[in-house]
Structure 1
């Protein structure tokens, strides 16, 4: 009996020790809280906000204090689902976005709104519809920075009341409806054709202008060449005429001088006879040239010309004879 009672007492003591150990562990776990970096704990005491615990080791009052909320102080990414938005010109577009938020006041984030993530997404969607709804289709497709600035401005005050700050918001996609895309593609194709036609017309115009300018320059150069050639030709002709005139004057002066000398040397014969002598001399020289030509086999002369030539030759013969007589007389006198 004593052994059985002792065994029973030992078993009860072990159970009591085990229960006490469990109670100690539970109390320890309720008392000690280790908060990791980047998180904060909202502590309530008997259902009322008590304190916000930061990173590190923290001690609580067991069974009185409890962790109500565990919130992250890191930047959080929220995906805004795609939604249909009607623009100012009644075009339907699908818009989705992504926003980056950060908790700056965990107490407001815990007690200021039921679910700050869902509230932020709903606020972004509402502000996005309002902002895009004030724009035309073309403006909404090309003004993402404007939309982003408008969203940040519209959401800033409301998110501050929730203990949040909007780091950034980006429009991921703005896509018009399928029918609108077809119409836009047709419009873009027509615009490209129009620009191509304008470019081609401008090119043709430029080519025509350049061609006309080239023709004008060519005609100017050609006219200047003709003008210069005409001037040079006229100058050459003028110079030749001057030289011919000078030669004719020199020849006339030489002939005149020769006749005067001849007339002076022939005291018995007048100047007319001297002139006939010169003409007969030129005729004789010309006939000599004709007779020397190899292509002339027969030379036919009209009777009048023969008679004239005879008279001239006779005159020349008389002049020559007279010259010989004068010469002999002069020698005899010496």
Structure 2
């Protein structure tokens, strides 16, 4: 009985020791007597003891390979350090195991040489502004070169480009000058836009003011015209009403006298001579006689005779008729008039 149990226990122990569980996203490469036999994917597997062995455990996840910075020389002989990152994954575990001795080391060296070749065809300024092109070219070259190794390069990124300190200082000065130039240009453009906006605002304000003045003048003119029209229309209506009322001449003359009274009211001296003054005077005379106002006696318009002057004893009668000499009298009167006029002028 013991002889049966011991071999059975040994067999179970050997089977348990050769049972393998492959995790997800991993694969095992199996050799049989030193020769590739199979590739185990995720799941439960049992290998033959002493005949099969697991050569390599390979992860199928995407790997991020951060290589150290590589010194490169540009086309214009500028040496700088470039740090790159390579993203890759294993697509064929058999080729990855048997295609190259050290796939990661081989990929690193291949990445460095490819980067030197690409940067060597570019100048410094082009290198600094062409990262996308460098990434694309490196990805295409590395992916094609690593196909025999069972590796697929999914992405390549240039993380850092470090030029020499002298170049950095020159680039800093250039960048500062460029920014100052842009600032000056932006300030000039802002000032120009402000001036243009202010001028447009003043223009619109003047236009609106002119339109407002025009509308106000038009409204005032329309109001004045309407007022004059209403006044003339009212006067016309009044004249039409008077004409329709059949007013006689006496009433019109009375209204004329009332109008003269209103016109003469004031401090200044005014004299109005109506065109029909004779008729007015005659009418007033008739009215006075009818009312018994004033003296209706006729006025004697004949010239009155002057009584003879008494002879002046101081004047000698040269005519022999006992009268005054007319020539002497005339001269005396003229002299008196001249003296009176001279006295008035001196006063």
Same fold flag (TM > 0.5): yes
The C-alpha deviation readout for 1:18-56, integer Å capped at 9, x for no partner, is: xxxxxxx9xx99xx86777346457585xxx52346554
The reply to whether residue 191 of structure 1 matches residue 178 of structure 2 is yes
For these two proteins, the number of residue pairs brought into alignment is 268
- 2:64–2:85 contact (8 Å) kept in structure 1: yes
- 1:40–1:52 contact (8 Å) kept in structure 2: no
- How far apart are 1:226 and its partner, in Å? 1.8
- 1:148–1:170 contact (8 Å) kept in structure 2: yes
1:284-295, aligned counterparts within 5 Å?
284-287=261-264, 289-290=265-266
- 1:104–1:165 contact (8 Å) kept in structure 2: yes
1:44-55, aligned counterparts within 5 Å?
50-52=35-37, 54=39
- How far apart are 1:137 and its partner, in Å? 3.9
Q: What residue in structure 2 maps to residue 182 of structure 1? A: 169
Aligned counterparts of 1:53 and 1:103: Cα–Cα separation in 2: 16
Q: What residue in structure 2 maps to residue 98 of structure 1? A: 85
Q: What residue in structure 1 maps to residue 222 of structure 2? A: 235
- 2:143–2:153 contact (8 Å) kept in structure 1: yes
Gaps of 5+ in 2: 1-9, 293-347
- 1:42–1:106 contact (8 Å) kept in structure 2: no
1:135-214, aligned counterparts within 5 Å?
135-214=122-201
Structure 1 residues 52 and 257: CA distance shift in structure 2, 3 A: closer
TM, length-normalised to structure 2: 0.58
The C-alpha deviation readout for 1:82-115, integer Å capped at 9, x for no partner, is: 0122334554432112324444455544554343
Q: What residue in structure 2 maps to residue 58 of structure 1? A: 47
Gaps of 5+ in 1: 1-24, 266-273, 291-295, 326-334
Could you tell me which of 271, 285, 288 is aligned with 1:318? 285
Three-state SS of the structure 2 residue aligned to 1:210 is helix
1:232-271, aligned counterparts within 5 Å?
232-246=219-233, 261-262=248-249
- How far apart are 1:259 and its partner, in Å? 12
Choose between structure 1 and 2: higher helix proportion.
Answer: 1
Task: Indicate the structure (1 or 2) with the bigger Cα radius of gyration.
Answer: 2
